Amino acid sequence: MKTRELICINCPLGCALTVTTDDRGETTVTGNTCPKGADYGRREVTNPTRMVTSTVKVTGGRLPVVSVKTSLAVPKGKIGAVMAAIRSLTVAAPVAIGDVLLQNVAGTDADVVATKAVSASGPSKGCTP
């Protein structure tokens, strides 16, 4: 039998979970105050996943980078490959919120999606005497 102590991150309550897996592979979760906590505990010991957030370089934009996130939570073991793909990516402005910048990143079925708009840089709008 294997036991893990976890803190649930599904809501602000932060329940202290005890997840036990028996010799047959059956998992029980205690300490949760809602069904989401039980689901989180089971997933965390069988196939932990995380949303990945980062930034991507932008050329020709008013900002040098755009914030991005994965459209789905990705397996923790693939986060390094996802980040490597994101680091190698450069996009051209303009970028709109929701634009898919990279599909099926690292074979995870998740897309890399822009979470901010970056407009193309235009002529300078400085003051004139």
pLDDT at residue 128 in the model: 47
Residue 123 covered by a domain: no
Range of the domain at 13: 2-46
Residues 29 and 57 in one domain: no
Q: What is the 3-state secondary structure (H, E, C) of 97-108?
A: CCCEEECCHHHC
**Count of other CB atoms within 10 angstroms of residue 37:** 24
Give tens-digit pLDDT for 87-96: 999 999 999 9
Place of tokens 């450069």: 90
Residues 57 and 94 in one domain: yes
Residues 38 and 67 in one domain: no
Give tens-digit pLDDT for 29-56: 999 999 999 999 999 999 999 999 999 9
Residue 128 covered by a domain: no
pLDDT at residue 124 in the model: 55
Residues 16 and 36 in one domain: yes
Residues 17 and 59 in one domain: no
Cα–Cα distances in angstroms (integers) from residue 113 to residues 25, 37, 43, 44, 70, in the given order: 36, 27, 24, 24, 6
Tell me which residues of the chain have a pLDDT lower than 50: 127-129
Q: Give the span between the Cα atoms of 127 and 129, in whole angstroms.
A: 7
Q: How many domains does the chain have?
A: 2
